[in-house]
Amino acid sequence: MKKVLIVFGTRPEAIKMAPLVKELSKQKEFTTKVCVTAQHREMLDQVLDFFKIIPDYDLDLMKTNQSLNKLSARILNSIDSVLDDFKPNLVLIHGDTTTSSMVALASFHKGIKIGHVEAGLRTYNKFSPFPEEINRQITGRLADIHFTPTKQSAKNLLNEGICENTIHITGNTVIDALFWGLKNINKNRKDIKSLNSFILKDKKLIVVTGHRRENFGANFIEFCAALKELSFREDVQIIYPVHLNPNVQETVYKILSNISNLLLISPLDYEAFIWLLNKSYLIITDSGGVQEEAPSLKKPVLVTREVTERREAIDQGTVKLVGANKKKIVKEATLLLDNKEVYNTMIGNKNPYGDGKAATKIVNFIKGE
């Protein structure tokens, strides 16, 4: 019987790997176990609870303000005992986190086959996103099987010399998770009912997120200034779940506190967050996952980054890059708020990241190996 170990550590990874955990758990020919590094702790646990996933191994490695080097060393050291205990035939990791790259390296050291979910995304700028771009490239060099979400991500790998028969285009599991999540939202939850009471039905709701390291400092001040200017509009309401990182909190609360139609709230768990996204008129974000989810919700997205490894949505017109540039953010947001034709064109395109069946495609491939 084939033994598969699924490893993840952050909230985005947990969301995107949850459909795979569920799909693999149905397969009698596999023994599947889940290991979490808890690179994120509280935000990770919320996702595990929503998707009803109980990890077999919990490394509990989150430490306040730990450096990337310390986290990397702790993951590399701690995963060893898990690999020795379970002895998997295949380790599945996801995307671009420190967990992904270090678990891939540890598995490579032990001669264990590695499957990379959401493989092949690239900006080819090693500092944007930082450190994710290099994490993803490192993982891509170590992986034996590459599950890419799109043709473009597959093409990136081919251009890097990755063998074609190891690359499999599956769509992105984030769409699987979104569809499952929307069906299973409990609208009677206290936090969702509270949020619903805050939403002004006669306003256009802008949902905002922002947390990327490359935007800390001057860029984040510019980003917040744009939100403040947009809040002056009488037809707009802004809700911003503020990331817990002190670099984010300090700037956001300094510039955006005490604005009547701009609500700063604590980070939402996945269930409440996708409920809120579905209520939005417009999304302003630097999140990769939101760029992928929003087209399925028929919501336009302004991405506050200079480059993105998710070019497909840009090319298809469901997403616009605006950078952390006040003038550009305000200009593009104003266009979408005021011009219904532009708005409808942006939301009218098909989601390039899949149809919600990525996990099934990945499992079917693994079964056929």
Instruction: Choose, from 132, 133, 286, 312, the residue flagged as catalytic.
Output: 132
Element (H, E) at 262: strand 262-265
Q: How far apart are CA 144 and CA 305, in angstroms?
A: 31
Segments making up each domain of the chain, as ranges: 2-172+354-368, 188-347
* pLDDT at 79 (0 to 100): 98
343 CB-near residues (< 8 Å, 6+ apart): 300, 336
| 211 is an active site residue | yes
For the 2-172+354-368 domain, the top CATH level (class) is alpha beta
Instruction: Choose, from 136, 146, 243, 305, the residue flagged as catalytic.
Output: 243
In this prediction, residue 176 has a pLDDT band, given cuts at 50, 70 and 90, of very high
DSSP assignment, residue 160? T
| 132 is an active site residue | yes
Instruction: Choose, from 211, 229, 306, 355, the residue flagged as catalytic.
Output: 211
Q: Hey, which CATH number is domain 188-347, 3.40.50.2000, 1.10.1060.10, 3.30.70.1140, 3.90.1150.10?
A: 3.40.50.2000
* pLDDT at 118 (0 to 100): 97
In this prediction, residue 369 has a pLDDT band, given cuts at 50, 70 and 90, of low
| 96 is an active site residue | yes
Tell me whether residue 338 is exposed, middle or buried, using C-beta atoms within 10 angstroms of its C-beta: 0 to 12, 13 to 18, 19 or more: exposed
* pLDDT at 1 (0 to 100): 67
pLDDT tens readout for residues 305-346: 888 888 898 988 999 999 988 999 999 999 999 999 999 999
Overall average pLDDT of the 192-211 stretch: 92
Instruction: Choose, from 13, 96, 269, 292, the residue flagged as catalytic.
Output: 96
| 305 is an active site residue | no
Instruction: Choose, from 13, 118, 286, 309, the residue flagged as catalytic.
Output: 118
pLDDT tens readout for residues 31-76: 999 999 998 788 889 999 999 999 999 999 988 888 999 999 999 9
